[in-house]
C-alpha cells in the first residue's frame, strides 16, 4: 500500500516520530506540495494524507488507485466529497486532537490583551521600574476574569471546553445562536448577546451561515470595552470591517490566529491595525496536539486496512 503525505510541514517541525506510521505501508513524505505538483504526487497513491492541499475533481478523477483520504485536520473542506463518493473513496478526519491547545491559546492571547505582560516586561527592560518612585506602577488597568462575560460562537468540543475553563475562572459564559440556525434554550441569538459581552470568541465551522458573520454592524454591537478573538476560520470575520472598527477605537482589542488567506497578503489591513494581536495559525499546534494527530492518523489507517470505520466522514 502506497501512502503519500502531501504536506508534512507544519505538522512536523522535526519533533514527530513517524516510525510506527511507516510500518503501515510504503510512505512517501513531502514537506509541502504546490498545486501544480499535486496530481503527479497522487497518481499512484492508495492513500493520500493532506492537511491543506486541495483534492478537487481535477485531482481525484485521475487517481484510479486511490482508496482512502486521510485529512490531517478536523475541517474537511479541502476534499471534493461528491467526486470522492462516486469513486468509492473513503475519507477520515482527525477530531478532538487540539482542543486543549486551542483553549490554552485563547487564554494566552486574552491574558496578553488584558494584562499586557509583554508590554510590562519591555517597560521594565527600558528601566522604567528602576526610575519609578513607587514599588509598583501601571501602564493600564485590568479586571479580574471573574467580572467578565464571555460569549462563544460554536458549541462543539472546543467551545464547550473553553466554557468549562472560563467557568473555572468564575467568568459568566453564554453561547450564541447564529442567524439561520434553530434557536435552543441554551443559546442566545447572536445580535441580542453581543451588547452584553466583554469577550467574543469564535469556535464555529466555516459554512454559508458563518462566512462573513462578524461584520461591521455586529462588531459595533459589542461594547467599546470588548475584545474579539478568532481561532476558528479566517472568513467568519470581514477583516476590513474589523480593521475599521479597531481604527475607530470602538473595541478594546482583537486577537486572531486565522486569516481569510494564509499566509496573508502584504496588504491585509489587520497587519497594521492597532490593538490587533495576530499569531500565524498556531493555536492548534502544541507538541502534544501534533503527536495526538499522528497517533489518530495511524489508528484511522489501521482501521481502514481492517475494513473498519474510525473517524470516517465519507464511506
From first to last of its 315 residues, the chain has per-residue pLDDT tens of 999 999 999 899 999 999 999 999 999 999 999 999 999 999 999 999 999 999 999 999 999 999 999 999 998 989 999 999 999 999 999 999 999 999 999 999 999 999 999 999 999 999 999 999 999 999 999 999 999 999 999 999 999 999 999 999 999 999 999 999 988 889 999 999 999 999 999 999 999 999 999 999 999 999 999 999 999 999 999 999 999 999 999 999 999 999 999 999 999 999 999 999 999 999 999 999 999 999 999 999 999 999 999 999 998
48, 132: one domain: no
Among 6, 27, 9, 7, smallest CA distance to 18 is for 27
Tell me the residue range of the domain where 23 lies: 2-97+287-314
59, 200: one domain: no
68, 117: one domain: no
62, 154: one domain: no
45, 192: one domain: no
Among 25, 11, 41, 102, smallest CA distance to 298 is for 25
Residues composing the chain? 315
The CATH number given to whatever domain includes residue 224 is: 3.40.50.720
CA distance 251 to 232: 20
CA geometry: angle at 98 spanning 208 and 117, to 5°? 100
- pTM score of the predicted model: 0.93
Active site residues: 233, 262, 281
CA 162 to chain centre: 13
CA distance 154 to 204: 4
152, 263: one domain: yes
82, 154: one domain: no
What distances in angstroms separate CA 102 from CA 51, 70, 189, one per listed residue?
A: 17, 22, 24
pLDDT of residue 315: 85
**Based on the number of CB atoms within 10 Å of its own CB, is 313 exposed (0-12), middle (13-18) or buried (19 or more)?**
middle
Amino acid at each position: 500500500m502506497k501512502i503519500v503525505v502531501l504536506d508534512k510541514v507544519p505538522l512536523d517541525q522535526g519533533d514527530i516520530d513517524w516510525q510506527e506510521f511507516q510500518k503501515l505501508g510504503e510512505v512517501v513524505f513531502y514537506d509541502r506540495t504546490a498545486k501544480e505538483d499535486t496530481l503527479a504526487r497522487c497518481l499512484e497513491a492508495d492513500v493520500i494524507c493532506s492537511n491543506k492541499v486541495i483534492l478537487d475533481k481535477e485531482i481525484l478523477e485521475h487517481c484510479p488507485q486511490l482508496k482512502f483520504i486521510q485529512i490531517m485536520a478536523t475541517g474537511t473542506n479541502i476534499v471534493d466529497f461528491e467526486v470522492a463518493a462516486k469513486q468509492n473513496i473513503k475519507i477520515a478526519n482527525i477530531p478532538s486532537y487540539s482542543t486543549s491547545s486551542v483553549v490554552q491559546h485563547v487564554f494566552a492571547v486574552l491574558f496578553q490583551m488584558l494584562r499586557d505582560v509583554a508590554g510590562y516586561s519591555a517597560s521594565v527592560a527600558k528601566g522604567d521600574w528602576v526610575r519609578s518612585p513607587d514599588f509598583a506602577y501601571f501602564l493600564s488597568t485590568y479586571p479580574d476574569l471573574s467580572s467578565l462575560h464571555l460569549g462563544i460562537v460554536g458549541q462543539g468540543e472546543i467551545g464547550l471546553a473553553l466554557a468549562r475553563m472560563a467557568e473555572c475562572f468564575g467568568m459568566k459564559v453564554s453561547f450564541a445562536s447564529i442567524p439561520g440556525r434553530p434557536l435552543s434554550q441554551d443559546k442566545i441569538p447572536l445580535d441580542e448577546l453581543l451588547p452584553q459581552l466583554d469577550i467574543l470568541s469564535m469556535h464555529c465551522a466555516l459554512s454559508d451561515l458563518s462566512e462573513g458573520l462578524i461584520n461591521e454592524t455586529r462588531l459595533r454591537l459589542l461594547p467599546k470595552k470588548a475584545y474579539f478573538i478568532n481561532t476558528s476560520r479566517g472568513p467568519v470575520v470581514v477583516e476590513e470591517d474589523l480593521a475599521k472598527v479597531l481604527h475607530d477605537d470602538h473595541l478594546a482589542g482583537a486577537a486572531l490566529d486565522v486569516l481569510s488567506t494564509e499566509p496573508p497578503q502584504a496588504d491585509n489591513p489587520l497587519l497594521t491595525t492597532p490593538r490587533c494581536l495576530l499569531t500565524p495559525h498556531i493555536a492548534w499546534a502544541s507538541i502534544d496536539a501534533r503527536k495526538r494527530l499522528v497517533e489518530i492518523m495511524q489508528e484511522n489507517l489501521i482501521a481502514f486496512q481492517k475494513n473498519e470505520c474510525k473517524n470516517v466522514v465519507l464511506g
